[in-house]
Amino acid sequence: MTDSPHWFTSSYSNNGGACIEVATNIPGTVPVRDTKDHDAGTLTFRTNSWSAFVQFVSDQSA
């Protein structure tokens, strides 16, 4: 198991400041944090929940 998340921002981010970072290297979970305020904390989602959320958002923008 990897203890340190490898954070990244989506390539769809336009760098307007309202971005999040996610890490996908933690088995079973997807941690999410604010790009500009790392000290604000991290939300952690189960992998299947995060995938469902991303699919839902993708479906809404299609």
| 8 A C-beta contact, residue 48 and residue 34 | no
Residue 2 binned pLDDT confidence (cut-offs 50, 70, 90): low
What phi-psi label fits residue 41: left (phi over 0), alpha (psi between -120 and 50 degrees) or beta?
A: left
Each residue's pLDDT tens digit, 23-54: 999 999 999 999 889 999 999 999 999 999 99
Nearest to 17 by CA among 33, 42, 32, 36: 36
pLDDT of residue 3: 73
| Strand pairing category for 20-23 and 43-46 | unpaired
